[in-house]
Amino acid sequence: MRRRKILQRRGKLRRMIDSPYLAEPGKKFKIDHTKPGDTGDFKDRKDAEEATEDNLKTLEKLQDKLYAQAKHAVLIVLQAMDGGGKDGTISKVFSGVNPQGCVVHSFKRPTDLELAHDYLWRIHAGAPQKGMIVIFNRSHYESVLVERVKNLVPEDVWSKRYDHINAFEKLLADEGTTILKFFLNISWEEQKERMEARLADPKKNWKFDPEDLKNRERWDDYMSAYEDAIGNCSTKDAPWYVVPSNHKWFRNWVVSDLIVRTLKKLDLKYPPPLKNADGIKVK
């Protein structure tokens, strides 16, 4: 136990969870080696329902302890191609948590004020305080994805950012933030089906942006950018998990399972009971 505490203080005991979807730190990542349509050991949606619901109920309990204890902070990063399911993941996986202890930051095009600062300024401002789960719907990785693919900044600028990002995430981790990063991995064919379904549904086609089609034309460029971002920035402090996401139900199970297993390793506890509570009279 004493050795465990020493390792924790030195930052050498990490909370990285083993998973077939982990982008192993220190190794090159190749998108071609992944299977967006994978469903693991489940046969179908119905087969996964009970396991997913168990995860969501457990997450609700763990988040309650996280909020009450106010000792740890948790950062969830979601990245995906257009139609990849970031909103759906947030809606399903975090459906039962207490809104007081969970915040979603959606990073869109930077404002003039944000552009007047370094690219991590607005990101750091959104990092979680102790007791909180913060979800980044898109994130600082846009600066090595969109800005790279669209040539918004030159290579000698974006190529330095992997080291910046790793240093930033290590700072957060060393200060008590547990970081989980998920790339919701869909196939080219699945994206096409989702875009067509979105256009056909009057209640959803407001989400469609013609820019999505331009991004789709750059699919290979984005895949190269994701390979470099994940390969360079999956670390023991802040691991990347590449989640098969063609099947939404399986995506929800993988994400919820990894979050639950990670939170369990934090040894979350409620604060000690109030002393002499039985002697306090409420008038």
Distance CA(205)–CA(190), nearest Å, equals: 17
On whether the CB atoms of residues 237 and 173 are closer than 8 A, the answer is yes
Q: What is the mean pLDDT of residues 242-254?
A: 98
Tens-digit pLDDT profile for residues 185-242: 999 999 999 999 999 998 888 888 888 899 999 999 999 999 999 999 999 999 999 9
Tens-digit pLDDT profile for residues 102-147: 999 999 999 999 999 999 999 999 999 999 999 999 999 999 999 9
Q: Is the pLDDT of residue 7 over 60?
A: no
Residue 27 has a pLDDT of 93
Number of H helices, E strands in the chain: 12, 5
Q: What is the mean pLDDT of residues 249-276?
A: 94
- 14-268: what CATH class? alpha beta
Amino acid at position 166, single letter: N
Per-residue confidence band for 15, with pLDDT thresholds at 50, 70 and 90: low
Q: What is the mean pLDDT of residues 260-282?
A: 89
Who's near 141: CB < 8 A, 6+ residues apart? 77, 79, 165, 229, 233
Average pLDDT, the chain: 93
